[in-house]
Structure 1
Amino acid sequence: MTIGAEIASSQKNCSRSVCIPINYSLLDPKVIPVQVNVQLQLRQILGLDLDQRTVTVEVFTNLYWKDWWVETLSNKATTIDEQVRDEVRLIDWHVQDLRNITHSLPVHDSGLIATPSLDGTGSIISISTEATVVFNCEMNFNLFPFNKIKCDYVITSTDYDSGKLMFQANWSQIVNAHKLEFQLESDYEVQFDPILPKNLSASAVHRDHSSYHSAIGFQIYLKYRPTEALLLYYLPALILVLAAHLSFLIKPDGAPTRISLVTLSLTAVMNQFNTLNQISPKGGKGPTAAAIYLLTCVFSNCFCLGLNILTFRFKNDPVKFQNVNFYSALTSSISFLLFNLIYWPVILVSI
């Protein structure tokens, strides 16, 4: 610092017990990187948009850091008023994958508080806000109704890399509300995990690949509760397939009954499949897990119908009819059983 700068820095601009040098804007922080302490609290999950792949949350954010050039004349926390506030150096931060911020309100009147530093040099500057934030989530619907939605709420700096600014916090500073409100709680199980300080590649922030940026936040996992889908779609489809397989127990003279039973089962499963397609989330790569199961049930019932038609070609020969009927029933049952033995372990491993 030059002699002129030292003289200028000794001249103060004061307002409401807070003073800064008149050449404040020309002064660099005395310690780099600036250590920014972060407190985050997830208050509410206000909404989930599956079409837009976004989640809306209410978040309380508190940032505080040491500024060696800000002097607090009072021995207690002081609100920085407009005369000084516009000149105080603020921390540049933003939310990754942000769509929109609404109802962003400072907790205090001006949003900025200055507190004397314990070591007597400079002040601790803090800013607290409550905001409703809409941001992008990672959604993969291929496992519906066993799918999970992963939402990373991450704050970072655009202008300052980790060599100039570092976010820091511990587990107790990144929390969710004790009574977290979520309108879709009956449909989703919520899991909250802090994201402690880490470095993001600059390519995740902007096009500059030469640096890393400090980041911090939390993760929300929304696990869909599959009970309703299991009861409304899986269980009825399974019963209808079993009913079709039971048709092989009907005697040869009951051909109309056998064909009617399989045809009705097939029609009902197809209706189940069409209804599921209307209510299941769209946008995954390929069919959902539920759609695959119901589609297999449709094919299984079609297979039963074809085998029944084949069997009745031998109705005039009791021996051949009995053999063909037995192996038809065995083939259709084993094929559907093998599908289930493959399907459910894959689902359980994936979730």
Structure 2
Amino acid sequence: MSYSLHFCNHKMTLGSALGVISVLIFGMGLVEGVKAKNFQCDAVNQTSLPCLPVDYSKFELPMPTDINKISISAYIDEVMHVKEDDYSITFSCYLNVKWSDPRIHLDRDFGKEQAGVGGKGSERQTILVPVTLEMVDELWLPNVFIYNMKEFKVTNVLNKQAGLWIGTDKSILYSQAVHITFMCPMNFARFPLDTQVCKFQLGSYSYSDLKMMFETEMAGYSPPKHTNSIPLDFEINISKLSLADQTYIAGSLGNFSLAGFELVLDRHMASYLLGYYLPTGLFVMASWIGFLIPVEAIPGRMALLITLFLVLMNIFNTITTITPKTDGLTAIQVWILACIVFVFGALVEYAAILFKKQRYVSSQHRLNIKIVCKDNFKYEVQERAATSAVSLQQLAEEYWRIDKFFLISFPILFFIFNIIYWLAFIL
């Protein structure tokens, strides 16, 4: 039995095809071997470029018996999104990771060109020399883990936006232009008077602080920027992590060193104060005008209070749709509900006065039916009840005393509510 493969109308036996595939695989391995060998130190490779010893292993720590220090720098270009619906923050930055690898071999003249004429600069300070990015595949890299990471994307133009530098002190700097999205557990109970603190933390995935120590060398906006260019709902301040946030306690696995920064998000309140707080507060004050309207002017007083009540209910429904998710009521919902209660209280007060007035009018028109016999005939006689001792003038004065009481008490109660509200949600 014979098997055959057909390529481009030529007949090839199975054995020949397997031979070609073997040659291709061997050729690919040879290319990779040559590529790896280009960074190894040998007798022929006597250039000023850094090279790796023959026994170099990218799977072993640079300093197996000592603590490997990893420096992190984050030059933030822009905070692009703060998504409150899924509790995430997206920012673009230049993420730099720096560490030392004493196993790298450097030529005596390495870095002289960058230091200047005579190479004296290399003796005074560390000179970072850019090298080909392909060398990254042969170097040991720290297993960096970003806590609460949702997405990590390296930007591309014609190729990956990344760079590799090796210092004259055998330090390695690996930099990438990235977009990072991470989760931030936000609490919106004080919305829109809230301040959110989001911690961006990274460290080693598997090595404890006995083997790998992370430190934050720089965290902030890329110079000369000091603030965000994209207008967001927050004022953003960047600070370093506290000492407590620089260690992750993992129980029996040990303690893990962390680096990173804090994003402090202070919400801009001006739009909410002018758009919601001020109008609703004025609506409550407008409802107090109803206490000055005579009781007899039922259409005017009822129209005022009912209109204010419905407008506030509509504002509350609007706020409910734009408020971020939270377990209970937010600060702005508490405010508008309080305004609704004050307006509804004025409406209930007027309803109570009308009810009392209606009872008085009914008592004045109450009729008593009596049976009177006269001339052998029975007659039904209707008599009015005895006139109440309370005159209309006295009743009007009583209504005014009630309105005057609430005209004084409601502003006082609203003032006290404001003091408690702002102290509770601002301080």
Tell me which interval the TM-score lies in, with the shorter structure as reference length. Answer: 0.7 to 0.9
Residue type at the aligned position of 2:310 = T
Aligned residue runs from structure 1 range 91-170, under 5 A: 91-104=142-155, 111-117=163-169, 123-170=170-217
Q: Which segment drifts farther, 17-26 or 139-148?
A: 17-26
* 196 and 141 in structure 1: CA distance in 2 versus 1, 3 angstrom threshold: closer
* 320 and 28 in structure 1: CA distance in 2 versus 1, 3 angstrom threshold: closer
Q: CA RMSD in A?
A: 2.6
Higher relative CO (CA 8 A, sep ≥ 6), structure 1 or 2? 1
Aligned residue runs from structure 1 range 211-222, under 5 A: 211-222=254-265
Q: Which segment drifts farther, 272-281 or 100-109?
A: 100-109
Alignment-derived partner of residue 70 in structure 1: 104
How far did residue 324 of structure 1 move? 2.3
* 38 and 252 in structure 1: CA distance in 2 versus 1, 3 angstrom threshold: closer
Aligned length: 324
How far did residue 110 of structure 1 move? 7.3
Tell me if the contact between 1:80 and 1:114 (Cα under 8 Å) persists in the aligned partners: no
Tell me if the contact between 1:33 and 1:166 (Cα under 8 Å) persists in the aligned partners: yes
| 3-state DSSP of counterpart to 2:201 | strand
Alignment-derived partner of residue 23 in structure 1: 55
* 325 and 87 in structure 1: CA distance in 2 versus 1, 3 angstrom threshold: same
* 166 and 322 in structure 1: CA distance in 2 versus 1, 3 angstrom threshold: same
The TM-score, its normalising length taken from structure 1, stands at: 0.83
How far did residue 210 of structure 1 move? 3.6
How far did residue 182 of structure 1 move? 4.1
Q: Residue 301 in 1 paired to residue 343 in 2?
A: yes
How far did residue 194 of structure 1 move? 2.2
Tell me if the contact between 2:154 and 2:160 (Cα under 8 Å) persists in the aligned partners: no
Q: Which segment drifts farther, 14-23 or 140-149?
A: 14-23
Once residues 162 and 283 of structure 2 are traced to their aligned partners in structure 1, the CA distance between those partners, rounded to angstroms, is: 66
* 64 and 335 in structure 1: CA distance in 2 versus 1, 3 angstrom threshold: same
Q: Which has more radius of gyration?
A: 2
How far did residue 111 of structure 1 move? 3.8
Alignment-derived partner of residue 225 in structure 1: 268
Alignment-derived partner of residue 6 in structure 1: none
The TM-score, its normalising length taken from structure 2, stands at: 0.69
How far did residue 105 of structure 1 move? 6.2
Aligned residue runs from structure 1 range 1-351, under 5 A: 13=41, 17-25=49-57, 29-30=62-63, 32-73=66-107, 74-76=109-111, 77=129, 79=131, 82=134, 85-104=136-155, 111-117=163-169, 123-170=170-217, 173-177=218-222, 178-179=224-225, 180-185=227-232, 187-195=233-241, 199-203=246-250, 209-281=252-324, 283-315=325-357, 316=392, 317-349=395-427
Tell me if the contact between 1:314 and 1:321 (Cα under 8 Å) persists in the aligned partners: no
Q: Which segment drifts farther, 154-163 or 314-323?
A: 314-323
* 90 and 28 in structure 1: CA distance in 2 versus 1, 3 angstrom threshold: closer
**Structure number with higher strand proportion:** 1
Q: Which runs of 5+ in 1 are unaligned?
A: 1-11, 118-122
Residue type at the aligned position of 1:189 = E
Tell me if the contact between 1:199 and 1:212 (Cα under 8 Å) persists in the aligned partners: no
How far did residue 61 of structure 1 move? 1.7
Residue type at the aligned position of 1:284 = T
| 3-state DSSP of counterpart to 1:51 | coil
